């Protein structure tokens, strides 16, 4: 509202009305529960987590619906869900001339979604044992010098998140971005969201230094925030020794080297330009940010195939990024290595390890269950999108980008040079469901569908 008032746009009235509506419902809930003491069990935690993301998306859609953009409710909810889940897919065409309040609102949604994801990954999912996240319970133990209580953890992580955001704003400003653009892009960079204030994303500025800053902060957003907290509290070693971080950076480095080599040899692109383009887009995709500085769909089949798998891999657990997550691939590798050893030595006893510590027996099973459900939901969503009329590439990449919370897909329609606006409403609702499933680590949402969940 203040942004629209400052720039003299009449949409400030829309935000003012939305403030009143949201305050009425939120205030009613607060007042009706004042003074009561609640004890929450695991089932209620599952339900609260799911309902929170859905309800926030519904109320966050109101400014889109009633703004000067005149969006349908389907488009408004899609944009809202894409923002709060930090996916970055958009149905808005003409961002260059969009109301400033809406542009800032999109960025704020992704920023809030980013910190929400971190706190959920550190304080909720490990204790609900979702997808192998229980191995990160030790990250919160007092023996590891991290803060034990959820409220303290949230405030400490929030402070780090704010510091990185302000740092990103300042550095963007030094590269020549205006204050508004610097703030909006900083909010969506550190949250690895990817919403921009221009249709051409960061390619609009065409500044290598701006892309370098974006790449740096996307990497920072894609790594575990609890390690930053440990470093601030005097234990910086895990930040450099953590196997998940090293594995993540190794994948990024190998992908960049391979892509640069391919672009130089097969696309006749200069080395410096290839390095710039490859580094930026690879980091953007693997962290699920979705920024683009060109149409990588034109770089050849190898690059398109590689980028498709990078968007599925995702970043580290406990970060703002998305996808299957690095640690799950590490657990898979540990299981495979143990199985090979058992084939060679049938009578020997081997134990899977992660980050130098033995894995509990339930972790590999949880991880394998998650990956299976991830693949199953991806296949189901792809088929459903094909059923409503999308072509093969659009359906496949749309399902992958939604469930991995990446942003742009592949192809002419939803690729980095396109938007999701041309898709039918049915496809947008399916993709919104996919974004929600991916953000809630799939199992969190699917558990409420089991009949036993609703039994006393």
Q: 314-356, pLDDT tens digit by residue?
A: 899 888 988 889 999 999 899 999 999 999 998 888 888 888 8
Give pLDDT, residue 149: 64
What tens digit of pLDDT does each residue of 423-450 get?
999 999 999 999 999 988 888 888 888 8
Report how many domains make up the chain. 1
Q: Is residue 381 part of a domain?
A: yes
Q: How far is CA 84 from the centre of its chain?
A: 9
Cα–Cα–Cα angle for 196, 73, 57, rounded to 5 degrees: 60
At 90, phi and psi to the nearest 5? -135, 150
Give pLDDT, residue 280: 93
User: Which stretches within 267-360 are classed as H helix?
Assistant: 271-286, 301-313, 326-344
Q: Which residues have CB under 8 Å from 279's CB, separation 6+?
A: 215, 256
Please report the sign of the dihedral spanned by the C-alpha atoms of residue 370, residue 376, residue 378, residue 381. negative
Give pLDDT, residue 122: 75
Domain range holding 419? 348-454
| Predicted TM-score of the model (pTM) | 0.90
Give pLDDT, residue 247: 93
Give pLDDT, residue 304: 87
User: 358 by DSSP, 3-state: which?
Assistant: strand
Q: Is residue 390 part of a domain?
A: yes
Tell me the two tokens of residue 227. 């390690």
Q: Is residue 85 part of a domain?
A: no
Tell me the two tokens of residue 164. 């990185």
- Choose among 263, 107, 110, 280: nearest CA to 185: 107
Q: Is residue 368 part of a domain?
A: yes
Give pLDDT, residue 64: 94
- Rounded to whole angstroms, the Cα distance separating 106 from 89 reads 11
- Rounded to whole angstroms, the Cα distance separating 30 from 53 reads 18
Please state whether 35 falls in left (phi above 0), alpha (psi between -120 and 50) or beta.
left
- Rounded to whole angstroms, the Cα distance separating 235 from 222 reads 20
For the chain, residues with pLDDT lower than 50 are 142-148
Q: Is residue 5 part of a domain?
A: no
Q: How many CA atoms, within 13 angstroms, populate the side-chain half-sphere of residue 432?
A: 24
């Amino acid at each position: 509202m203040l942004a629209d008032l400052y720039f003299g746009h009449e949409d400030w009235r829309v935000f003012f009305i939305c403030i009143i509506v949201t305050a009425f419902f939120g205030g009613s809930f607060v007042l009706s529960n004042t003074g009561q003491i609640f004890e929450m069990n695991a089932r209620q935690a599952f339900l609260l987590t799911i309902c929170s993301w859905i309800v926030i998306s519904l109320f966050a859609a109101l400014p889109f619906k009633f703004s000067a953009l005149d969006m349908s409710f389907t488009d408004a909810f899609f944009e809202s869900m894409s923002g709060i889940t930090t996916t970055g897919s958009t149905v808005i065409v003409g961002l260059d001339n969009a109301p400033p309040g809406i542009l800032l609102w999109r960025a704020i949604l992704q920023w809030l979604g980013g910190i929400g994801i971190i706190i959920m990954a550190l304080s909720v999912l490990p204790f609900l044992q979702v997808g192998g996240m229980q191995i990160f319970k030790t990250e919160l133990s007092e023996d590891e010098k991290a803060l034990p209580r959820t409220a303290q953890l949230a405030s400490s992580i929030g402070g780090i998140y704010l510091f990185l955001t302000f740092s990103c704003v300042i550095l963007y400003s030094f590269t020549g971005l205006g204050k508004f653009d610097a703030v909006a892009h900083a909010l969506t960079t550190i949250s690895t969201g990817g919403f921009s204030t221009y249709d051409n994303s960061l390619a609009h500025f065409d500044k290598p230094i701006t892309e370098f800053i974006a790449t740096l902060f996307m990497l920072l957003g894609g790594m575990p925030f609890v390690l930053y907290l440990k470093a601030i509290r005097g234990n910086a070693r895990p930040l450099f020794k953590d196997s998940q971080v090293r594995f993540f950076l190794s994948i990024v480095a190998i992908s960049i080297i391979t892509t640069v080599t391919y672009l130089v040899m097969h696309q006749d692109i200069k080395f410096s330009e290839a390095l710039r383009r490859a580094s930026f887009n690879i980091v953007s995709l693997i962290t699920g940010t979705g920024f683009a500085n060109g149409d990588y769909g034109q770089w050849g089949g190898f690059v398109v195939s590689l980028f498709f798998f990078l968007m599925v891999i995702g970043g580290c657990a406990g970060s703002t990024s998305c996808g299957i997550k690095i640690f799950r691939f590490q657990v898979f590798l540990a299981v495979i290595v143990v199985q090979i050893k058992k084939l060679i030595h049938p009578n020997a006893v081997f134990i899977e390890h992660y980050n130098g510590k033995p894995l509990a027996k339930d972790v590999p099973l949880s991880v394998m269950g998650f990956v299976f459900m991830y693949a199953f939901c991806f296949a189901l969503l792809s088929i459903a999108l094909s059923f409503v009329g999308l072509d093969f590439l659009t359906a496949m990449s749309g399902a992958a980008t939604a469930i991995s919370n990446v942003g742009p897909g592949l192809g002419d329609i939803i690729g980095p040079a396109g938007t999701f606006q041309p898709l039918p409403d049915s496809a947008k609702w399916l993709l919104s469901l996919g974004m929600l499933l991916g953000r809630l680590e799939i199992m969190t949402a699917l558990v409420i569908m089991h009949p036993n969940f609703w039994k006393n």
